[in-house]
Structure 1
Amino acid sequence: MTGIASAEPSMDWDQTRCDLVRLNMVPGVGAVTLAALLERFGDPSSILRASAHDLQGIPHVGPKVIDGLRSALRTIDVEEELDLCRRCGVRVVTLFDPDYPVLLRQLADRPILLYVKGTLEPTDRLAVSIVGARHATPYGRRAAEKLAGALARVGLTVVSGLARGIDGTAHHAALEAGGRTLAVMANGLNSIYPPEHDRLADRIVQQGALLSESPMRLEPRANLFHRRNRIVSGLSLGVVVVEATPKSGSIVTAKHALEQNREVFAVPGPIDSLSSQGCHALIKEGAKLVESVDDILDELRVHLTPLASTDPNANPPTTTPGRSLSKNVKITTKTIAAPTQVVSNDEAFLFDLKALQDQDTHPTLNKNETQPDPSSNSHSHNRGASTEPVPPGLILSERERIVWETIGTATLHIDAIIAQSGLDPGSAMATLATLELRRLIGRQPGQMFARLR
């Protein structure tokens, strides 16, 4: 949006952050309304100081919203909100910050800000959401555990909503596999809902993050969960539904995924189970049937394409989703922005599996990394690789080559690959995921990896 882009360079970041938090706390001002206000006025401070006359005629801005905006400077205590953030270890990430999630940035209804407790990593752009029934069956829990654990072991971040049932199982499985997981909450981060997931939330903070667009003290309400679901799908390349009734929130998440041009996956279940009827409806209408993690990885390979732009406000290309799920589950499609990535020049890496013959699209070493010397003893000591060259026609990035040579002809545990390659854990896991998606290496039980060619 041009209004946001033109305002960014001159912004006073501290004041802008405070103003955005204040606007986000005005009743009736959601992501779409705030985007329209920024488009009209250019910066948050101008919105808060606009007259009632100036606020009229803006989409989604009625008399109650105008009254809320006009009184926000005197009725909303931003300092108290930010002090509560500090005491709870929560930071506010705005759309203008470089660590705002890349995939989320491209949504038409993206949240202008996120409350974050934990860490957001560049590798979180490789994420898959797993959602499903709160009253999950043992079968559903086993399926969610199997898929989330497998995705985490190959370096993908698992996203879910911290709800009871499938969500909690997916988070727990990702943590147990040593992976990262993001939990998107409907309520504010001042409290955990459901309360029995407080310990799980603490673990997620250590291996990922809790996120919410809601003010800190906002209590959970039904409409907030539907709003939250678009963030769950928006953070991901695809959404896996494990058990869902036809009108459940998980189906809403699948709808958001389709509108955002994400892949939709569904796990089949018993034909006489109400908990599987929503999944079966999705499959009938074109969702990918999932029996194992390979079904997910195979489908995502063609979507892992980078956008090397460094402009966070660049307009992404628009595409029309190729899959319609519009009948039984009332899901509609529309032409929207495709999932893309915005990264810095020295991190313009990852996952162009459509252009493997173009060496320039592959990752390079970080500026703090040095290219290993093949003749060095420290480089080759205890590696599984022989000195055999990379097979003819196989184009590898620097990180891919390092991991490929580290594995060699052996079968290595992920910890050994990280230690012997010299890469940081995040880069190593992301590279393993890329090589597995390219069918160059295979994952075996016990987090072991071996070459497939």
Structure 2
Amino acid sequence: MDRLTEHAALLTLLRGRRRQWGLVADEVEETGSALRVLEADTNADQGDLFAGFPDGMSGALDAARETLLGWDAQGIHIVTLLDADYPAQLLTVHQRPPFLFFRGSMSPDDAAGVAVVGTRAASAEGLRRAEEIAAGLARRGRVVVSGLAGGVDTAAHRAALREGGCTVAVIGTGLFKSYPKENAPLQEKLAREHLVLSQFWPESPPTKTSFLMRNGVISGYAAATRFATVEGRWRPRSASPRRLLPVRVPGSAGLLYQLHGMAIGVLDERDPEPTFPEGVGGAVVRCPGAE
């Protein structure tokens, strides 16, 4: 089956369906074809899936193909969980998105990237720390992944760019939107020179739920996550709390992060070795600190 038709079938399933996207993703992945799921799913729970299309499924697929080609002409591409270039690490994430829209270029090097995250309302010291971490990662050839929000995210992206490094933005809106609005020029630059990802329809506005969902993709897209700041009322961001282990390293803001079934100590170079929880295997990723 050609890729465009499979993408069109998945688009049709998700746009007209009342079931959760995660359940649709499970069904499509198990079947190995969005088109086969669409063809088989002709019973009453289809609702108004083909409403407005005199030719039924054929008309809906043609409309979806036209939509996809229109987005592609505007530089917005799509990869689905059935495609070989879908990020392999994301397939292990609970409620992984059935597709990702992106502008820019996805690279195999992204899989070894480190997410730098923190609060939008960071102090001057918090922003300095985020810049320091991101710059150190970029100098070592690591891809810096963040969310293009204000505060720590923006500082991390800009620091990676200053060092000539690669940086990936995973945003909480559709690719036609920018949040915050003042980051629109930065988003455009990353789309031209690096990569901007979204799990939402291109026209989707920001919502509280969308940012929580976005955080899960950030954590799954990168190999590890570095919390640049733990300030004020901020708490580590994740759409999947089970992926965080509540273990702190004495004298450090570092946390142990559960990734793919094991604990990863995402720590500063100067932090002591952590003690992993009983019964949990672990490894340590050292992120650069002050030099």
TM-score (norm 2): 0.77
Map residues 338-357 of structure 1 onto 2, 5 A cutoff.
none
Look up the equivalent residue of 1:172 and give its one-letter code: R
Look up the equivalent residue of 1:214 and give its one-letter code: F
Larger radius of gyration: 1
**Inter-CA distance 13–289: structure 2 relative to 1 (3 Å threshold):** closer
Aligned length: 272
Runs (4 or more) in structure 1 with deviation over 6 Å come to 263-269
RMSD value, Cα = 3.9
Higher fraction of strand:
2
Q: Distance in 2 between matches of 1:85 and 1:192?
A: 17
Alpha-carbon shift at residue 293 of structure 1 (Å): 4.6
**Inter-CA distance 264–192: structure 2 relative to 1 (3 Å threshold):** farther
**Inter-CA distance 28–258: structure 2 relative to 1 (3 Å threshold):** farther
Note the residue ranges of structure 1 that are not aligned, 5 or more in a row: 1-10, 56-65, 270-278, 300-319, 324-352, 354-432, 446-453
Match of 1:37 in 2: 27
**Inter-CA distance 20–251: structure 2 relative to 1 (3 Å threshold):** same
Map residues 27-426 of structure 1 onto 2, 5 A cutoff.
28-38=18-28, 42-49=32-39, 50-52=41-43, 66-67=46-47, 69=49, 71=51, 73=57, 77-79=63-65, 81-244=67-230, 248=234, 250-252=236-238, 255=241, 257-258=243-244, 288=265, 290=267, 292-293=268-269, 295=271, 322=281
Deviations along 1:204-234, one digit per CA (max 9) or x if unpaired, are 2244200011111111111111111110000
CA contact (8 A) 2:119 2:229 kept: yes
CA contact (8 A) 1:129 1:236 kept: yes
Look up the equivalent residue of 1:67 and give its one-letter code: G
Query: What percentage of residue pairs aligned between the two structures are identical?
Result: 28
Q: Distance in 2 between matches of 1:131 and 1:266?
A: 18
Deviations along 1:152-177, one digit per CA (max 9) or x if unpaired, are 11011111111111111111111111
**Inter-CA distance 165–207: structure 2 relative to 1 (3 Å threshold):** same
Note the residue ranges of structure 2 that are not aligned, 5 or more in a row: 257-262
TM-score (norm 1): 0.52
**Secondary structure at the counterpart of residue 240 of structure 1:** strand
CA contact (8 A) 1:144 1:242 kept: yes
* Bigger relative contact order (CA 8 A; separation at least 6): 2
Q: Distance in 2 between matches of 1:148 and 1:267?
A: 23
